[in-house]
Structure 1
Amino acid sequence: MYEKNKDSSKVELLAPAKNFMAIKASGPFSNAIYFGINNFNMRMNADNFPIESLPKIAEMCHNPKDPSFKKRKAYLTTNIVIYEDEIAELEEVIQASKDAGIDAVIVHDIAAIQLAKKIGIPFHISTQCNVSNSESAKFYEELGAERIILARECSLKQIKKITKKMKKAQIEAFIHGAMCSSISGRCYLSQTLSGSQKQSANRGKCTQPCRREWKLIAPDSHEFIYDGQRIFNSRDLCMINYIPELIQSGIKSFKIEGRMRHPHYVETVSRVYREAIDSYYNGEFEKKLKKEKWITQLKRVYNRGFTTGFYFQQATIKDSQLNSPANVSHFRYIEMGRILTYHPTGVAKIELFNGTLKIGDKLIVMSTDGNYETYFNQKIKDIRVNGKDVEFTGRATKEKPIIITISVDHPVNGKKIDAIYKFTDETYSKPKKGGKKRKTSYKLS
């Protein structure tokens, strides 16, 4: 059994954020968030934030309104390859980050490092730099980096050796989320196949050809070695069962990948890893690992199947997801209706247009627009239809919606800006005997 850790300096849990809802989603669980501005980050297809949002992001993290939220740090990603005509704009972004109170910038290009030093904002070295040994880490440490995000190809044994040789800089490592089949994500396959830098992974615009089916043919016999399989399609990293080993390796920040993921994904993964980390420091990890079924909870949200990556051994074909290019979870987000109006007494008027609701149902309430920040879980406590209390509603459709009112625990936006969702596997269809699929309870919107 793992002993209670006596180190007062606990590991940081770092959560991704593609919009304001995702920032709120990890509020009670993460110690820090990382996000991207419209340009200069490795997830250009995510929602991302305009530069004008920087003060609000810092305020949400440093001075949360919700008492259940932690005070958190905010890190801006600027980790793409920078070209000459972009330097002035990058300097503007980094300067605006410092002025807004952003805690650090995550950098890859030497130009970004130089600008961060010039402006005087802390900087972290991106995994894109492929730091795989202590000499490389010390080089960036001497440049002034406060943190090094190691290459994903490092083993746990290698990480332990690197952390012991660092003087000031902290070590950060990914613990959960999507994996790239190329070295530290520095892939040129998307750019090569598209014939354009506009589709380059190193510019944040990867088209993910590694997720597709490929045929590998032996040149001598012309026989198929792989016939239409996703041999480059990595499973997702998941280290939930190895939190003690990770903490004891000297890693100071646990990073969750997912700046293109749903806020509920961010909430679920952050919550599960928070529980695991806290249970380690409380000396209860093994007990909680069996009881809480963390891996089951993680399998419900988006995943391609799980792997431990390179932490314990070199990746093999078993670490690839050959059967599916994307999500293998049976759970989906079903939009049930839109909020029409909200009364300050805590009552929301809703246009229900998809399926039925009953008292006790669990909903996700969130905005349909990333510029808004509504996000919370709501258990239905009451339902009113035509002014009468009911236990459940009739079946609503887009052609025949039902207007209902329910009590909500937090303020919401009307005018159909906010919506209610169910997170359920009831829509999942699987073949029965005879090849027929079962009927579904809801229609996907």
Structure 2
Amino acid sequence: MGIRLDEKLEPIYREVLSRNPGESEFHQAVHEVLETLGPVLVKHPEFADRKLIQRICEPERQIIFRVPWRDDKGEIHINRAFRVEFNSALGPYKGGMRFHPSVYLGIIKFLGFEQIFKNALTGLPIGGGKGGSDFDPKGKSNEEIERFCQSLMLELYRHLGEHTDVPAGDIGVGAREIGYLFGQYKRITNRYESGVFTGKGLAWGGSRARTEATGYGTVFFMREMLKMRKNGGIEGKRVVVSGAGNVAIYAIEKAHELGAKVIACSDSGGFVVDEQGINLETLKQIKEVERRRISAYADIHKHARYIEGSSIWTVPCDIALPCATQNELTGKDASILIKNGCIAVAEGANMPTTPEGAQLFQEAGVAFGPGKAANAGGVSTSALEMQQNASRDSWSFEYTEKRLEEIMVDIHRTCYETAAEFGAEGNYILGANIAGFIRVAKAMDAMGLI
């Protein structure tokens, strides 16, 4: 899996494998961090002596519980839910809730582990956590989703708090689900503790620009990477974006605003190519309002092509933005993108590129922005939402977006400078991992053996 580990780190990884059997996504996430930490142990041998890496790889708390609920026909269903409170060295646990049939403990631990370093990179006082359930909201009525969310919160509420653990949305959890979850939390606790959830509606404590933040932030990070190259600049570049959900839609929107042309996007059924540039108004209507398949885009815009069941990464482009799900961009896909002249990749999703794909991009000199850095705009704006809630304040869209852009520029600078400091200029994977790790490790070391 990926690069060979430093001899001091190999036994740590073997221990992770033995303690967490069958959790392949978590194993992958840990390996991708460990393979970059060899130089850190040379500069900071005290981290090894204090077993800080082993402590970071072990969650502070793992919560698993059942969620019983009734559907509209009165039939009882039992789902399983999780909350992994991974690391609170920098602040309260912060991370989304995912509702999807693929969810199991290994997925949540991989996401929570990534969240530790992503949150550290923002420079904001938030720790790392993640949660979710194998409940599938697709095809369910609003009433069924409400009953499920309320049942889940009857258990989860006791583990949450604005100074303890602050969930948000993720795949399958949008403003509707956050509303049901927060409403039940408020009812149980008899407190209007608006800072305990982020991604809320604007009328009840939400942050302007939160919906757009992950997609916008990914493109801001991409822009900063391109500035560091001779062929710098995002203007006029052909862009391919995987996915057609929240992250993808707003990555497309910001890419267009900055002068690029997004020519393709996808969903789980296939992808659409529009050489004139994806029409954002149509895409939003299909996916956000009507909740239809991406194939409907080609029915409306006859000049566009819909390709079913194939890889979107066969479409020639300058920039690739994987914004769908983990391990969607393989080594084979990376080879095709490189051959077709792709110069930069920024991950809008969490770990969407396989280790082989990431290694090929690095070897080919393609600028590669890993998810823990490139898609940190979402959690950054969630932390800004927490600030507004704590101060009983409300900020304009323009002010919030400006703060988001400043944070993303700072994350890029931190990753770039850290990589250069450790002799790997331009290696954003190494820069992001080391910068995030050092911030968390120093805080943990200062607090003693806890």
TM-score, normalization: structure 1? 0.30
